[in-house]
Amino acid sequence: MAKVLITGANGLLGQAVVTIFSRESDFELIPTSVEPELFMDRNNSFNYEQLDITVKENVKKIVKKHNPDIIVNCAAFTDVDKSEFERELCWKLNVDAVKNLIIASRISDAKVIHISTDYIFDGKNGPYMEDAVPNPISFYGRSKLAGENALTTSGIDFVIVRTIVLYGVGIKVKPNFATWLINKLSAKNPVNIVTDQIGNATISDDLAYGILKCAELDVYGIYNIAGKDIISRLEFTYNLCDVFNFDKLLINPILTSDLKQPAQRPLKSGLITLKAETEFGFKPMDSKEGLQLLKYQMEM
Ligand SMILES: NC(=O)c1ccc[n+]([C@@H]2O[C@H](COP(=O)([O-])OP(=O)(O)OC[C@H]3O[C@@H](n4cnc5c(N)ncnc54)[C@H](OP(=O)(O)O)[C@@H]3O)[C@@H](O)[C@H]2O)c1
């Protein structure tokens, strides 16, 4: 049975990957993260390992111990605004740690599946295909592109899965765009929502499913895995109001420039998923379908 080592298994995507891989594949899983225990392991049924991927020797030790065939990297420094100020930490996790995984992957000849983002683009002319020319406009975007470059120049077997505006539920995960909206709107708090950021928000289940296909199949290189409908944050919020029955009058449309955020955002973005759809039958949910699934998961 092939072995899959998962890093960042306590994050939003990490939990979705552990769930989908354990439900829909025969892979033996080795979930890892920085915390002493796996948040979602109610039955203690996994070979969980505590692993800080910025510590090269520990990454090598765990890979030597388990000999994985595949490494799925769900760990990252994901706070886009904080990345502008905590540059060293951001680089350590998004670039140097990816190099640690590359070095360790050579021990067991493992294929590395790494997650990247539309923030490697400037958002001037999206939506983007896999071969579009990157031009990051934030430190986070630069670090994620450098992580990609470490893989593309490494000579190891790799897949880079690019995604965009990830949402979903998980145990003790940070709020994401959808859960932040749900918290605010269910308490009848007004929200300022940008009209000029365009993209295809992605539910973590769809992304985890795309990653599973990248693990099962003999595919390598870059794949976009994202939601079906390329819409503005405002349209996404209106769809969320329809699904969750929230009052649309609580929504105040604004421009990204009004927010004065430390990091610049790509505006006209979006990821075209045609390659994954044609090569391995990836069928993304649109935002209403994704939000309906989210509602169901929150009620469980
Ligand atoms: N979220 C989005 O909108 C979005 C969009 C496009 C692409 N992506 C990419 O998708 C991937 C997954 O993102 P996500 O939203 O699931 O992020 P997340 O919820 O922040 O998960 C990242 C996980 O990595 C863990 N981690 C932090 N430092 C670590 C270390 N040194 N060693 C091992 N694990 C460490 C974090 O633990 P702590 O929580 O304890 O720090 C967290 O559990 C990332 O590569 C991200 O860049 C995300």
| Tens digit of each residue's pLDDT (9 = 90 or more) over 73-107 | 999 999 999 999 999 999 999 999 999 999 999 99
Percent of the chain with pLDDT over 70: 99
Half-sphere exposure of 72 (CA within 13 A, CB side): 33
Note whether 207 and 166 are within 8 A (CB). yes
Decide if pLDDT at 183 tops 90: yes
* Structure letter (DSSP) for residue 177: H
* Residue with CA closest to ligand 1 atom 39: 11
Q: Tokens 């029955």 — which residue?
A: 245
Please report the pLDDT score of residue 44 as a whole number.
64
Decide if pLDDT at 46 tops 90: no
253, β-bridge pairs: 193
Percent of the chain with pLDDT over 90: 97
Mean pLDDT of the chain, nearest integer: 97
Note whether 9 and 32 are within 8 A (CB). yes
* Structure letter (DSSP) for residue 9: T
As a whole number of angstroms, the distance between CA 7 and CA 236 comes to 30
Decide if pLDDT at 42 tops 90: no
Ligand 1 lined by 7 (C-beta under 6 Å): yes
Ligand 1 lined by 105 (C-beta under 6 Å): no
> Which domains occur in the chain, in start order?
3-170+201-227+271-285 (3.40.50.720)
Please report the pLDDT score of residue 1 as a whole number.
86
Note whether 110 and 45 are within 8 A (CB). no
Ligand 1 lined by 54 (C-beta under 6 Å): yes
Phi, psi of 6 (to 5 degrees): -115, 125
Decide if pLDDT at 264 tops 80: yes
H helix runs in the chain, sequence order: 12-24, 56-66, 87-91, 97-108, 139-152, 177-186, 204-216, 233-244, 256-259, 274-280, 287-299
Ligand 1 lined by 243 (C-beta under 6 Å): no
